[in-house]
Amino acid sequence: MEQTVDNKQIVLKNYNDQIPKETDFQLRNCNRIKLKAPQGSGSFLVKNLYLSCDPYMRGRMRDFHGSYLPPFTPGSVIEGFGVSRVVDSDNPNFKPGDLICGLTGWEEYSLIHTTQQLRKIQHQDDIPLSFHLGLLGMPGFTAYAGFYEVCSPQKGEIVLVSAASGAVGQLVGQLAKLHGCYVVGSAGSNQKVDLLKNKLGFDEAFNYKEEPNLDAALKRFQKWLTSVMTTPFRQIWQFRLALGYFPNGIDIFFDNVGGDMLDAALTNMRIHGRIAMCGMVSQTSLSNPQLFHNMHSMITKRITMKGFLQSDYLQLFPRFVEDVSSYYKQGKIVYIEDMNQGLETAPAAFVGLFSGKNVGKQVICVAPQ
């Protein structure tokens, strides 16, 4: 007789165009599932071990069909990235016991039919499995592709990262440091500022919630930077001045939040500065976004601002895994996770992303390994 078990699930109750709330979700306990993949289906059954909470999922919570991903369906299980173990399979490419990473359901067990965005992973003692949702997953690859391909960094440049302690920002800053850049991060608490400077290796950081005027804060930083620049960086800047480069401002802005921070950064960019548009987590309404006042700087400073998706650069993924795994194993980078225990904690964890409650990459542990 085939074994059946309870399968707890998180479903979307209703569409929401505003900041997500816990009441947008429902924990469903009444579903039961057979621990067997249907014969002839080509599918396989997985037990979900870790689930990822990512800001992009908010866009799928509204009734909008013009994006790169379709909306969730009210009453259906939330879909997101996860690390899972194969329990049973009718697919010759996936065997029981295989570990996989890719899109799965916010539930204890999922029946997987589509394999295009799945990859097998190997458990390594020196790299936690959950890191395949962050450091070695979509957020990490977003940081890698965005920094190297969109920002086109040069040694000695000045880099500003918003939401710098988050899943993407923390790696952007560390990659920039390894590349020889001077890195400043913005974050939403003094605890996060301390992490940026004392654990993640940023040169400087500030709490944007304590800055009533972000434009003034960035200008203050420029003045401070000139006074404390270390000798190697001072020499690089002197060389630039000799070539006639604009002496102040930000070369690269890796933006995860949009809003007031982006508006302030626009007026503080250097000529030919680059802005990588990664996220807009600050927007309270996706259908009625905030207007910007400093777009004229795009012209006067010849700024390049580019939005991107990590899926634009999938050909680089093998190199990314090799490079970042090596950096981590050598101790050249660290990665911070915020781990919640239990599927039922997923809605609160996800909602917390939009108020800055998480410290590091937000992950849900559904089941022990």
- Tell me the pLDDT tens digit for each residue of 180-224: 999 999 999 999 999 999 999 999 999 988 887 787 777 766 665
Q: What pLDDT, on a 0 to 100 scale, did the predictor assign at position 150?
A: 97
CA dist., res. 334 & res. 199, Å (int): 8
Per DSSP, 127 falls in state: B
Angle of helix 259-268 relative to helix 214-228, nearest 10 degrees, comes to 50
146's torsion region: left (phi>0), alpha (psi -120 to 50) or beta? alpha
Q: Measure the N-to-C terminal CA separation of the chain; round to a whole number of Å.
A: 26
Query: Above 90 in pLDDT, residue 360?
Result: yes
3 state SS of 307 = strand
Q: What is the mean pLDDT of residues 8-28?
A: 95
Q: What pLDDT, on a 0 to 100 scale, did the predictor assign at position 248?
A: 66
Query: Above 50 in pLDDT, residue 312?
Result: yes
Average pLDDT value for the chain: 89
Q: What pLDDT, on a 0 to 100 scale, did the predictor assign at position 241?
A: 35
| Residue-by-residue DSSP string for 246-262 | --SSEEEEEESS-HHHH
Q: What is the mean pLDDT of residues 326-347?
A: 97
Q: What pLDDT, on a 0 to 100 scale, did the predictor assign at position 48?
A: 98
More confident position, 348 or 123: 348
Angle 254-280-64 from CA coordinates, rounded to 5°: 140
Over residues 70-110, the pLDDT tens digits come to 999 999 999 999 999 999 999 999 999 999 999 999 999 99
CA dist., res. 100 & res. 120, Å (int): 4
Residues 222, 228, 230, 235: what is their CA dihedral angle, to the nearest 10 degrees?
60
Q: Which two tokens stand for residue 260?
A: 């007031």
Q: What pLDDT, on a 0 to 100 scale, did the predictor assign at position 240?
A: 38
pTM score of the predicted model = 0.89
The region of weakest confidence among 34-43, 120-129, 204-213 is: 204-213
CA dist., res. 119 & res. 100, Å (int): 6
Residues 24, 29, 32, 36: what is their CA dihedral angle, to the nearest 10 degrees?
70
